[in-house]
Amino acid sequence: MTNSKRRLILVANDDGVQARGLHSLIEIVKPYGDLVVVAPEQHQSGMSHSISLLKPLTANLVQKEEGLLFYSIPGTPVDCVKFALNKLVTRKPDLMVSGINHGSNSAISVIYSGTMGAAIEASLYGIPSIGLSLLDHSADANFELIEKHAKTVIDKVLENGLSPNISLNINYPNINLKDFKGYKVCRQTKGMWQEDFEERTHPYGVKYYWLTGNFNNLEPDAEDSDEWALKNNYAAIVPVHADLTHYKEFERLKSWNL
């Protein structure tokens, strides 16, 4: 159960209810208040801001104890946030945290990210939100670095707040604690994935294709970019928002007098 006198923290992820990163994040934010955790039943990486329109959702109680309600949803990360805010919480959360993602959400990856989709969805409701990711895709990733240092940013967000409809996209390098240089506020790196659909053959002879690729950093020496920060042992903080308007181009197009 939750206590109206304590902070309310909403937690979600995209790697699914069993993901080690989610359970690490729960332990990180437990001291801050009561938790409502809503996670996808299955792995939902790459779902971005998708929602379930053509199937019903159910909410399955995973755990209930003092200060913690934990549900799983057979849907997307954004489904989880929408459902939580509409059906599970009785007051506006003080903070929303998403993750910890197993793998990077830096640079252009942010637009594909279910982790950041969930965080951005919460920001649309006026809730300060943070997405956290570690540059390690393995199921048994070590989140010790984030467990030790995430408090620094969480404290600042709770103390100072964020501008309306803003989320923080925070990526951590996969390094030893002793090598960590701290946080660096950055912008999103300009770059693209160079992708390929690798052809494989099923044992029954059916051809199928597996998406692969490598990230092409178009500005590797840009010291204000998130990729530079990560390669130099900083955690990269990029403020993001859902408004996709390009305002300089908006002004230029008005001159067309259409």
* Domain spans in the chain, listed from the N-terminal domain onward: 8-189+220-254
Residue 34 CA to its chain's centroid (Å): 20
Residue 89's nearest CA partner among 212, 197, 4, 177 is 4
Q: CA 139 to CA 250: how far, in whole Å? A: 43
Residue 110: predicted pLDDT:
97
Helix crossing, 144-160 with 20-29: angle to 10°?
A: 50
CB-based contacts of 202: which residues, under 8 Å, 6+ apart?
208
Residue 26 CA to its chain's centroid (Å): 14
CATH classification (class only), 8-189+220-254: alpha beta
pTM tops 0.85, yes or no? yes
The secondary structure element, H or E, covering residue 66 is: none
Q: What is the mean pLDDT of the chain?
A: 96
Token pair listed for 219:
């500005």
What phi and psi, each to the nearest 5 degrees, are found at residue 251? Answer: -65, -40
- Residues with pLDDT less than 70, the chain: 1-4
Residue 219 CA to its chain's centroid (Å): 24
CB 68 within 8 A of CB 100: no
Residue 30's nearest CA partner among 3, 4, 9 is 9
Decide: helix, strand or coil at residue 123.
helix
Residue 155: predicted pLDDT:
98
Residue with the two structure tokens 């308007």? 245
Residue 3: predicted pLDDT:
63
Token pair listed for 152:
């620094």
